[in-house]
Amino acid sequence: MTSGEISKTFFIKTAFRLAAGLMASSLAACTAPQQAGPPSASMAPAASAEPFQRQAYYVPARDGTQLALSVYRPVNAERVPTLLWIRPNRRESLDPRTGEILPAMSRDDIAFWTSHGYAIALAEMRGGGASFGTRDIDRSPQLGRDGADMVDWIARQPWSDGTLGMIGSSYQGFIQYSTAAHRPEALRAIFPEIAGFDDYGSMFHPGGIMNTALSGVASGSMASMAANAYDPERNLLPAVPVVDEDGDGELTDEIPLDMDGDGEFVDEAEPTYADGNPRKDIYLQATLGHLANTQLTVSELADASHRDSKIAGTDYTFADLDPGNRPAALAGSGIAVYNRGGWFDYHVRDSALWFATLKGHTPTKLMIAPTGHGGFPVADGEALYRAGPYFELFGLEDTQHDINAEKLRFFDYHLRGIDNGFADEAPVQIFVMGEGWRDEQEWPLARAIHTRLHFGPGGSLGQEPGADAQDSYKVDFTTTSTSNGASRWNYMISSAETPLSLDHDAQRRLSYQTAPLPADTEVTGHPVVELVLSSTAAEADVFVYLEDVAPDGSSLLVTEGQLRGNYLALRAIDGMMAQEGRSLGVRPDLPWQGFDAADYVPEPLADGAQVRLVFDLMPTSWVFREGHRIRLSLAGADADNFATHPGLQAMAEAGGAPTWFVHRGAAGSALVLPVIPASVEGETN
Ligand SMILES: [Ca+2]
Ligand SMILES: [Ca+2]
Ligand SMILES: [Ca+2]
């Protein structure tokens, strides 16, 4: 089968799955849903223009905290399954200028789900939106308990058929894993996208190095959202109140006025309302609780540099917050877990870890698409969650509803017991960049041949080790992986116009590249670097980049990895699950350094000491074309995305830089690539 045929097969399959959904979706605008509801549902024509109805609730958590929930369900249907989407903020926004309610899920998508007989429940975590309460820390274990309480409450409602699924990406994916670990009885399936497993290693301190790009953006936006600030200029709107206290059918009047014009009402001495009516200040009281949230700021994260450091003055360590503590609780639950990742997402290794670790313990699936930290293209979704430039590069820009069709089949199977063949399909669906979608039976691929490419003389990279020698390289602290404003680490990849390339500062790196490839070469899996290094300085942070070099010399970034040299000893990856007495193995078995304070070796390169650093790059699936070269570039900094090593800060500020010595030869530095053998003509996977 040629790559074109594989790609076409996927689209035909997907288009077939889609037809019913799209038809229902377009019909829904003018008439009643025509698609099958649950067996008990009455599907009489709807009176309203929209095929769904909305109701807002406060749901009590076990400690009495009231959590905001808005439910959209099909009109005239009786008992339906529910998809719960819990968000850190804003289940819905309110435009105070018009009174319009803007749900976090597009109305097209709500129509899609309700027309297929599902209720959509949009919830706000404690400490956010119109929910009461305070988050004792972001990613608190409390949030999973709240999620389980919401699942239980929804399952008891007269409109619920007693089954639930969960959806959402990133933080909203975290809360799915966290909720599922409590095994609420009604929860049957979750669909977390671009979400974490080892958050210390993927977003806070990847490779043990403080990630400044992500932390800076995330903590600032979380704080302003929590205060329900109102600033239309920045498209910042408050969450929708749950209670219409004066019963006049309007919700805008439940939000206190911002009297001093700074965009916030929480700073006013006394609440003032536009209509002057007396109130119990329910919305204000809920919002005031958020001001005590513990935010993970850059400085607090920098102070908590090890995986077992206490964070932000709390008793929590990163190990407590990591969703990767939950697989043991999820195993055997029977809750189906569909993990969706993106090749250019900082969580892509996490998506792979979730799938491989849960496989064999509970039904699980893995899909990885060429996105950054974002979703598939949608008509009017959140701007931050766009698909990114690789969709266009690989001709995928028109796939906008595929992901809904896939979710529908997944939930139809697991929530409604519809035998749609879902369980017989391959558990892994990856987009092989340069080839197309492909089904696989496992991750990583068992047929991968781990091919060792040795660093050689003259910046070469090849299968034959050369004589023992060393290359010197002067670190440049201005080196950056940000390309046209975007990197894997700063969220901008999702809205970037062009794929990532490091050509702009290639001369500031040390590179090793292969000869032009004699044939197309597919690399699918987790590349590993073994770097044998000494330096004129005692400390080193190492950044490596795998690049595809075209015959004209231009290159694209394929994937990357990084490691702080202080964490040079390898530990068993099972230690990634910090909960004691639970021995469920973490898979795949990748190099892992532990990153606890006890794993940290001060000044490992002092006095010219030679170290061997072994670490994996983010997983990828990429076809290097015949005539292209595979290049590995090294740098000692990623200026726009990672903090400088504290032990090198003074040198960097004085304009100095270490010189590295990269050792090569049979026992020297190498890149190990998972190369996929070319399939025999006519063979399918
Ligand atoms: Ca009102
Ligand atoms: Ca009023
Ligand atoms: Ca104010």
Mind giving me the DSSP string for 359-415? Answer: TTTS-EEEEEES-SSS-S--SS--GGG---HHHHHTT-TT-TTHHHHHHHHHHHHHH
Ligand nearest to the CA of 278: 2
Give 243 Cα–ligand 1 centroid separation in angstroms: 8
Ligand nearest to the CA of 270: 3
Give 277 Cα–ligand 2 centroid separation in angstroms: 7
Give 106 Cα–ligand 2 centroid separation in angstroms: 28
Ligand nearest to the CA of 231: 3
Give 241 Cα–ligand 1 centroid separation in angstroms: 9
Give 150 Cα–ligand 1 centroid separation in angstroms: 26
Q: Which domains does the chain have, with CATH numbers?
A: 3-226+296-440 (3.40.50.1820), 449-566+602-676 (2.60.120.260)
pLDDT at 10: 33
Residues of the chain with pLDDT under 70: 1-48, 216-221, 377-385, 397-401, 578-583, 680-685
Give 241 Cα–ligand 2 centroid separation in angstroms: 13
Ligand nearest to the CA of 273: 2
Report the b/e string of 269-289 with b at 16+ CB within 10 A: eebebeeeeebebbbbebbbb
Ligand nearest to the CA of 99: 1
Give 284 Cα–ligand 3 centroid separation in angstroms: 13
Give 257 Cα–ligand 1 centroid separation in angstroms: 14
Q: Which residue is listed with tokens 């300085």?
A: 537
Give 47 Cα–ligand 2 centroid separation in angstroms: 27
Give 247 Cα–ligand 1 centroid separation in angstroms: 5
Give 253 Cα–ligand 1 centroid separation in angstroms: 5
Q: Side-chain half-sphere of 145: how many Cα atoms within 13 Å?
A: 11
Cβ atoms of residues 460 and 658 within 8 Å: no
Ligand nearest to the CA of 276: 2
Give 251 Cα–ligand 2 centroid separation in angstroms: 8
Around ion ligand 3, residues with a beta carbon closer than 5 Å are 258, 260, 262, 264, 267
Helix (H, G, I), strand (E, B) or coil at 606: helix
Give 278 Cα–ligand 2 centroid separation in angstroms: 10
The size of the chain, in residues, is: 685
Ligand nearest to the CA of 247: 1
Give 264 Cα–ligand 2 centroid separation in angstroms: 20
Give 243 Cα–ligand 2 centroid separation in angstroms: 12
Q: Could you tell me the sign of the dihedral formed by the alpha carbons of 460, 462, 467, 469, in that order?
A: positive
Give 56 Cα–ligand 3 centroid separation in angstroms: 27
Give 132 Cα–ligand 2 centroid separation in angstroms: 22
Ligand nearest to the CA of 254: 1
Q: Over the stretch 181-192, which tens digit does the pLDDT of each residue have?
A: 999 999 999 999
Task: Report the phi/psi class of residue 285: left, alpha or beta, with left for phi > 0 and alpha for psi in -120 to 50.
Answer: alpha
Nearest to 545 by CA among 490, 617, 475: 617
Give 279 Cα–ligand 1 centroid separation in angstroms: 10
* Greatest C-alpha distance within the chain: 85
Q: CA–CA separation, 631 vs 615, rounded Å? A: 17
Ligand nearest to the CA of 244: 1
Q: Are strands 620-624 and 449-456 parallel, antiparallel or unpaired?
A: unpaired
Give Cα separations from 53 to 114, 119, 160, 181, 227 (angstroms).
Answer: 9, 10, 14, 31, 28
Give 250 Cα–ligand 2 centroid separation in angstroms: 6
Give 105 Cα–ligand 1 centroid separation in angstroms: 24
Give 110 Cα–ligand 2 centroid separation in angstroms: 29
Ligand nearest to the CA of 268: 3
Q: CA–CA separation, 160 vs 154, rounded Å? A: 7
Give 523 Cα–ligand 3 centroid separation in angstroms: 55
Ligand nearest to the CA of 242: 1
